[in-house]
Amino acid sequence: MALGSNPDARLVDALVERCAVEPEFHVREMLTWALIRHEPAVTVPKLVDATRDGRPQARSQALHTLSKIGDRRAWPAITHALLTDADDEVARSAWRAAVVLVPDDKREELAKLLATQLGRGPRDTRLSLSRALIALGDETVLRAKRTAADPRVRQHAVATEELWRDPEAGFELAIDEAKRIVALGGNSREGS
């Protein structure tokens, strides 16, 4: 708390490094809070460097913090490699950061890239991706994935569209509806 209340640029390196290794989620959140209280001109370059770190937690936490800062100068750090990282936590953090930082003229390109990740991972990963795609507002990439060969991709695309239409329904209901639609061989709500 003190480090965020009294920002000191000399401590930014230590804060970023601690984010990379701190095991406790709540402590990492406090470290992130302390970092966002510092000047972006100081923190953003250090966090961008951390997105290239070999440790998944370092990459994930740096991306998370960049998404909280929201400085679009960090956009070039959101690479294809991060958006498709093998570590689900890194990828999820990259998706969230990308949605915040993407320039308007890159939104469609980002949506297409994120759509390649449909069907990936457990529930939390799929939900994060759905939220990112919904935030980008490009429903055409989802429609295209309704006919994918992989049923997990089709289900995820349909579930994302269901969630888009009815955010109050929840992801589990959207997944159940998507499974039903895909099992019936449909690719839309019409006729199902």
At 175 the pLDDT is 63
> Looking at the structure, do residues 18 and 95 belong to the same domain, yes or no?
yes
At 188 the pLDDT is 47
> Looking at the structure, do residues 66 and 142 belong to the same domain, yes or no?
no
> Looking at the structure, do residues 145 and 182 belong to the same domain, yes or no?
yes
Write the pLDDT tens digit of every residue in 78-90. Answer: 999 999 999 999 9
> Looking at the structure, do residues 2 and 96 belong to the same domain, yes or no?
yes
If we measure between CA atoms, which residue out of 126, 115, 141 comes closest to residue 172? 126
> Looking at the structure, do residues 97 and 117 belong to the same domain, yes or no?
no
Q: What is the DSSP letter of 171?
A: H
> Looking at the structure, do residues 2 and 92 belong to the same domain, yes or no?
yes
Q: Determine the structural domain holding residue 121 and report its residue range.
A: 108-192
> Looking at the structure, do residues 151 and 182 belong to the same domain, yes or no?
yes
Contact 58, 20 (CB under 8 A): yes
At 131 the pLDDT is 93
> Looking at the structure, do residues 94 and 115 belong to the same domain, yes or no?
no
C-alpha to C-alpha distances, 92 to 39, 43, 122, 133, nearest whole angstrom: 25, 21, 12, 12
> Looking at the structure, do residues 29 and 87 belong to the same domain, yes or no?
yes
At 11 the pLDDT is 92
Look up the pTM and report it: 0.85
Mean pLDDT, 10 residues at a time, the chain of 192 residues: 65 95 95 95 97 97 97 97 98 98 96 96 94 91 88 91 79 62 56 38
CATH assignment of the domain containing 8 = 1.25.10.10
Write the pLDDT tens digit of every residue in 28-43. Answer: 999 999 999 999 999 9
At 165 the pLDDT is 84
What is the domain count for the chain?
2
Domain boundary among 53, 79, 101: 101
Q: Where does 22-122 have alpha helices with state H?
A: 25-36, 40-50, 56-69, 80-83, 88-101, 107-115
Helix 151-165, helix 123-136: angle, nearest 10: 60
At 189 the pLDDT is 46
At 174 the pLDDT is 57
CA distance 57 to 165: 34
> Looking at the structure, do residues 3 and 93 belong to the same domain, yes or no?
yes
- Specify the length of the chain in residues: 192
> Looking at the structure, do residues 13 and 39 belong to the same domain, yes or no?
yes
At 5 the pLDDT is 58
